[in-house]
A = this chain, B = another copy of it.
Amino acid sequence: MSINRKIYIVGAGPGDKDLITLKALKILKQATYVLVDDLVNQEVLSFCPQAQIVNIGKRGGCLSTPQEFINRLMVSRGKTEEVIVRLKGGDPFIFGRGGEEIQYLNAHGIDVEVIPGITSAMGIAAKHQFPLTHRAMVQGVTFITGHTIRENSVNWGALVQSKTTLAIYMGLKNIQKIITSLTESGMNKFMPVVIVQDGLRKNEQFIKTTFDSLSIIAKELNQDLPTIFFIGEVAGLASNQQLLERKNLREFG
């Protein structure tokens, strides 16, 4: 029996299970052992009923499995004959720690194949019909984390000056500090903002507002839910008409 020294690092996409790629689906159907991140939509596991599922994960600020343990588990399993998938929410390479895991696995003699996934901000923008770039408004989009292991490692001032759409992941805990930095750097107080919690899931919370109301609204948010803040002119294009048809809509500002 040949020993499989390869692990698939696969992006599951955001909350809607049909946003997984066909390539990821084909690999899940062959998987025998799936290591699942805690931000993965559990419905995705219906694509691999034959596989042994191990729920692990590492969520900013929560008690969960240490990265070092996950790495060691992948290496020990990676030296068996199983078809091993490391399944991550969104995309493995946008805040997914895919890079760190590849470095560790390669250093331990295990090859990796990476399958990209729709990152949460893209899934949310599509659902709510606001583009992330727009020729007449904004020439780029920045995906940035608000949760960093080093202080001051994000230059919020430069991001304001860049005039790109900002999609801030994992920013809820530090949002008041982030708002202060953005304000000091000249963020327009009328800049549209969209806040989405539990994006694309059953209990998704959608809020559309403007930058000057963000500080007050952020205090009312459920601190335990995965949250993305979109800040930029394009956020103003999210269609009110369609939003009003949805449950859980709140609109401020």
Contacts and interface: CB of A to CB of B under 8 A. Distances in A.
Q: Output the residue of A126, A127, A149 with the most chain B CB within 10 A.
A: A126
A97 interface: yes
Contact of A145 (B16, B96, B139, B157): B139
Interface residues of A, number: 67
Q: Copies of this chain, how many?
A: 2
Nearest to A161: B158
A158 B154 contact: no
A22 B19 contact: yes
Interface string A83-125: 0000000011111111110110010000010111111001101
Contacts of A96: 131
Contact of A155 (B16, B23, B116, B163): B163
Contacts of A130: 93, 99
Interface of A: 11, 13, 16-23, 25-26, 91-100, 102-103, 106, 112, 114-119, 122-123, 125-127, 129-136, 139-145, 148-149, 153-155, 157-159, 161-164, 234, 237, 239
